[in-house]
Amino acid sequence: MCGIAGIYSFDRNNHEKFENQILNMTNSQIHRGPDSYGIYNFTDINLSFGHRRLSILDLSENGNQPMESPNSRHVITFNGEIYNHLKLREEIVDVKWRGSSDTETLLGCFDSWGFEKTISKISGMFSFGLFDKKEKKLYLSIDRAGEKPLYYSFIQNKLIFSSELKAFNFYNNFKKNIDKDSLATFMQLGYIPAPNTIYKDVYKVEPGTYITIYNNSKHEVKKYWTLDNYHQNRSSYQNNKKSTINNLEELLIQSVNEQMISDVPIGAFLSGGIDSSLITAIMQSLSDKPINTFSIGFVNKDYDESLYSNRIAKYLRTNHHEKIIGPKDCLDIIPKLSQIYDEPFGDSSSMPTYLLSKLAKESVTVSLSGDGADELFGGYERYYRGMAYWRILSAIPIQIRKYIRYLLLSLPAKSIDKINNRLFTTNKLGYKIHKIASSLDARNTKLFLQSLVSYWNDTDNLVVNGNCNTTSYHTVSPDNFDDLKSYAMFCDFNSYLPGDILTKVDRASMSVGLECRSPYLNKEVIEFSNQLPINYKIRNGTSKWILKEILYKYLPKQFFERPKTGFSVPIDSWLRGPLKSWASELINPKRLIQENNLNAKLVEQRWQALQNGEKSYQYQLWNVLIFQQWLNDNWK
């Protein structure tokens, strides 16, 4: 795993040297690649590649980058892992390999097969810049799910690209201008989906996409893979339950086995939930010694699952590591978030994810995780409850729904929670009721789903001169799907998974030099999942049915007979308590008015409503606070 950078000037009359800027750009990402660095300056064009390396496969100098291909046609600066690279080597017989790295394998494939065939065959997580000396083409690309990041910008007749936004600060002509539309999107979703970023004219390469840049500065964006093709042909799985379960298990075993290949110590994140427990169980079954497992627990027992992860670790006999955290641990991390994520990022579970990564790094350099299972196998409540509610609600006239919405939102969240605590055990019931209520005025399925995944539905009133149209990220119509649950999962795979979940894990883990791998996001697993009928994923109102059927082969069923908690932190109580002083300073009305980014009156109203327990505004306000902290750190 690595940090990459590049500068490409299209001015043919002035041969420039970018060595100092490239060095600074790559050094700003030393956390992604602490083991070595390299620079490649092309002699006949104004192009320079930079690289910081985290050595995982072939720890010798033969794995250093940027790397030239065996026949010298291609040069690459590469970040990631190609899990099927040993199989690909077997298909190429006329290459004399210098070392055993997957980077060299990738270059051998480009030499032998060309760009499009190679990128269709590789399986892994990656981002790279590749230059074809013969065709005079530069390619920028990332993996199918969006596990590895790549940013780019055209600035004054030059192309700049890098693994992280912070590297752009070391390019001489880079100007930081906030994109107010992206800010509005962030306030609504808690992240900024590709291709946009918080800065004007800076973009993310989208998952499953490659960009071809020609030496006259023209460029083309093309999809080499899309999930659209894999949710149609489902009939063959309808009546073969046992074989379907076995087929998925075999794919997961193959994926875990490939991702366990490493020349450095490896472990697994173990939360105690379905997803990570299955990966850990398979991993331990493939190992002849106890694997290292890692988990985070919380002082607040309502959010703590460490008891479950401990139980599973003991059953599997792993070498388990655990850390219990409280509000002070997270408060200490908050000043680091802007540096870790580079742009505003509102997922509060980024804090325990960082602490988990830091804990794992003390023992290993690579860790496997359960990310991607929720989006592929129906893990979120909005799939099996939210979309079921919509089937009923959409039949009710919208004027009646608006009246019900008004009644439910008028109930204080703290009153709902008090009743819940006495009669029920539903976690965060007040927040959930307000969430559903705020979606009742949706006029169609797309808007209802958008409301369910949004924090601010009124960003036009919040962000000064900012407009948000996040429905554009859900480009496929619900009519293309045979059920609404599959539609919701498809939307999340294309937006929420890469924009939130994978961003969170990549930046948190790489900030401490830890590589995190996700076996569920293996190409074959993704494609297999999206050919399954919905009843293999959600059955009788419960989620991830097929994963549970596999899991119970490895672990007792009673270990998982409990509600899904999720990797969250108690933001509401923290903002009323230990984080209140920090928050109050950042959203001081005078400060907001002076900065002229956010509606100070609206923010103050919702802050007071949260403090009084009237409304569940903690996640809305958290996005505001994260932006304010980011602004504070980037415009001092």
pLDDT tens digits for range 196-248: 999 999 999 999 999 999 988 899 999 999 987 666 555 556 568 899 999 99
Task: Tell me the one-letter amino acid at 272.
Answer: G
User: Among 51-60, 93-102, 179-188, which is the least confidently predicted range?
Assistant: 51-60
In tens, the pLDDT along 372-399 reads: 999 999 999 999 888 888 989 899 999 9
pLDDT beyond 70 at 120: yes
Query: According to DSSP H, which parts of 362-501 are helical?
Result: 373-377, 381, 387-393, 398-409, 413-423, 429-438, 445-452, 459-462, 484-494, 496
**Domain definitions of the chain by residue range:** 2-225, 229-377+492-560, 570-636
Q: Which CATH number fits domain 229-377+492-560: 1.20.1530.20, 3.40.50.2300, 3.40.50.620, 3.30.70.340?
A: 3.40.50.620
In tens, the pLDDT along 156-174 reads: 999 999 999 999 999 988 9
Q: Does the domain spanning 2-225 belong to CATH 3.60.20.10?
A: yes
pLDDT at 473: 63
Mean per-residue pLDDT, 309-313: 94
In tens, the pLDDT along 427-443 reads: 667 777 878 888 888 89
pTM, two decimals, is 0.94
pLDDT beyond 70 at 472: no
Count of Cβ atoms closer than 10 Å to residue 120 Cβ: 11
In tens, the pLDDT along 249-298 reads: 999 999 999 999 888 899 999 998 999 999 999 999 999 999 999 999 88
When comparing pLDDT for 8 and 35, which is higher?
Answer: 8
Q: Give the whole-angstrom CA distance, residue 342 versus residue 385.
A: 35
Query: Considering 2, 109, 468, 516, which one is annotated as catalytic?
Result: 2
Mean per-residue pLDDT, 615-626: 92
Per-residue three-class SS string for 266-284: EEEECCCCHHHHHHHHHHH
Whether 468 is catalytic is: no
pLDDT at 50: 96
pLDDT beyond 70 at 117: yes
Q: What percentage of residues in the chain have a pLDDT greater than 90? A: 66
User: Confidence band (pLDDT; 50, 70, 90) for 136?
Assistant: very high
pLDDT at 418: 65
Single out the residue of 210, 172, 179, 171 nearest to residue 197, CA to CA. Answer: 179
